[in-house]
Structure 1
């Protein structure tokens, strides 16, 4: 597509011819056409999902929670009751076997011995509890 325009220049040399080169425009349009042809089939592909089945049972909102306190003198308290290390091991094993999602929060006094805290963590881990947290 070309057009000519009669425009006078200052020198009076005659009409100037102007052409619009549409070759780059056609090149860009063909590239866009190829891109759309390649990406269009990808947009309509179905997504394969395996969704879990719903159940009619109501799941408990909060798992069972135990609080273990390590005092500065090394004594242990489970849910605000004094407890010996051997008894603590047994109680934690029972809790882990009854409900695997039982949460144990260990709270140590600010001046408690770290060795006592590590021993309490080891007892909790050896009892089979998987959810163990430290609290302030």
Structure 2
């Protein structure tokens, strides 16, 4: 839901104005902090003129795996973001190659992948 409004040339405030919603509601929906009710999802795709993706989005949101993933993510963040950030740092530090879709493969030359990247 976060990429489609930008591709339609709408940012958060413009989209909120078009829908008659608070900007905070648009932000929560875009960032996945709140799952959209069916009516809001229909209004969203109408506002960005992307009715072609409505069925797909409804299907994704109804999918039990998506609901489980959302609950799992909320549990991870329930005690704050620090624990999840530490996991991400450990994963980044142990990375030996970063694949960029449509781009070169970046090899890590020792140390943190973020600090020392080389293109083979």
**TM-score calculated relative to the size of structure 2:** 0.24
Q: Which structure is higher in RCO with an 8 Å CA cutoff and minimum separation 6?
A: 1
* Larger Rg computed on CA atoms: 1
The TM-score with structure 1 as length reference comes to 0.22
Bigger strand share? 1
